[in-house]
Amino acid sequence: MQTLEAINNRASLKARLSAREVEQGKILKILDAARLAPSARNMQPWRFIVVRGKEQVETLVSRAFSEGNQVAKDAPIIIVACANPNDDIVRDGKEYYLHDVGMAVENLLLAATELGLATHPMTGVNEDELKRILCIPPEIRFVIATPLAYPVTDSYDEATQERLSERTRKNLDELVYHNEWGKSF
Amino acid sequence: MQTLEAINNRASLKARLSAREVEQGKILKILDAARLAPSARNMQPWRFIVVRGKEQVETLVSRAFSEGNQVAKDAPIIIVACANPNDDIVRDGKEYYLHDVGMAVENLLLAATELGLATHPMTGVNEDELKRILCIPPEIRFVIATPLAYPVTDSYDEATQERLSERTRKNLDELVYHNEWGKSF
Nearest one of B118, B119, B85 to B101, comparing CA atoms: B85
Query: Could you tell me if residue B183 is inside a domain?
Result: no
Q: Are strands B90-91 and B94-95 parallel, antiparallel or unpaired?
A: antiparallel
Terminal CA-CA length for chain A? 30
Tell me if residue A46 falls in helix, strand or coil: strand
Tell me if A184 is assigned to some domain: no
Q: What is the CATH number of the domain that holds B165?
A: 3.40.109.10
Q: Is the pLDDT of residue B14 over 70?
A: no
Whether B181 is in a domain gets the answer no
Q: Do A92 and B33 touch (CB under 8 A)?
A: no
Q: Work out the mean pLDDT of chain B and round it to a whole number.
A: 94
Query: What band does B56 get if pLDDT is binned at 50, 70 and 90?
Result: very high
Give me the domain span that covers residue B133. Answer: 3-175
Residues ≥6 apart with Cβ < 8 Å to A38 = A100, A103, B10, B12, B109, B121
Helices (H), B65-154: 96-114, 127-133
d(CA B57, CA B62): 8
Residue A18 lies in a domain: yes
Instruction: Provide the pLDDT for residue B35.
Output: 97
Counted domains in chain B: 1
CA distance A163 to A160: 5
Short-list A109, A18, A129, A117, CA closest to A63: A129
Per-residue pLDDT at B153: 74
* Candidates A3, A100, A134; nearest CB to B110: A3
- CA pair distance B143, B153, nearest whole angstrom: 30
Please give the residue of chain B at the shortest CA–CA distance from A96: B98
Query: For residue B50, is pLDDT > 90?
Result: yes
How many other CB atoms are there within 10 angstroms of residue A163's CB atom?
18
Average pLDDT of span B83-106: 98
Domain for residue B53, yes or no? yes
| Mutation site, A131, A133, A141, A176, interface B, largest B CB count within 10 A | A176
ipTM: 0.95
CA angle A42, B42, A15 (to 5 degrees): 100
Residues of chain B above pLDDT 70, percent: 96
Per-residue pLDDT reduced to its tens digit, B163-178: 788 889 999 999 999 9
Residue B143 has a pLDDT of 98
Q: Is residue B30 part of a domain?
A: yes
Taking the CA of residue B171 and the nearest CA in chain A, the distance in Å comes to 8
Could you tell me if B112 lies within 8 Å of chain A, comparing CB atoms? no
Of B133, B157, B136, B130, which is closest to residue B66 (Cα–Cα)? B130
Flag whether pLDDT at B16 surpasses 90.
no
Q: Which of B91, B136, B168 sits opposite A42 (nearest CB)?
A: B168
pLDDT number for residue B60: 98
Q: Report the C-alpha gap between A81 and A143 in whole angstroms.
A: 6
Residue B152 banded pLDDT, cuts 50, 70, 90: confident
pLDDT tens-digit series, residues A63-104: 999 999 999 999 999 999 999 999 999 999 999 999 999 999
Measuring CA to CA, how many Å separate A139 from each of A101, A128, B145?
A: 16, 12, 29
> What does the alpha-carbon distance between residue A50 and residue A31 come to, in Å, rounded to a whole number?
10
Q: Is A25 an 8 Å CB contact of chain B?
A: no
pLDDT band of residue B15 (cuts 50, 70, 90) is low
Q: What is the pLDDT of residue B85?
A: 98
pLDDT computed for residue B154 by the predictor = 60
The predicted structure's pLDDT at residue B75: 96
Over residues B73-90, the mean pLDDT reads: 97
d(CA B127, CA A1): 38
CA distance B160 to B17: 11
pLDDT at B155: 62
Record: contact A35-B175, CB cut-off 8 A? yes
What is the pLDDT, as a whole number, of residue B167?
87
Residue A163: its pLDDT value, please? 77
- Residue A102 maps to a domain: yes
Contact flag A123-B89 (C-beta cutoff 8 Å): yes
**Length of chain B measured in residues:** 185
Question: pLDDT tens digits for B95-138?
Answer: 999 999 999 999 999 999 999 999 999 999 999 999 999 999 99
Measured distance CA(A56)–CA(A88) in Å, rounded: 30
Residue A183 domain flag: no
CB A143 within 8 A of CB B8: no
Which parts of chain A register pLDDT below 70?
14-15, 154-157, 159
pLDDT score, position A164: 81
| Contact between residue B44 and residue A169 where contact means Cβ atoms under 8 Å apart | yes
For the cut 70, the answer to whether the pLDDT of residue B81 exceeds it is yes
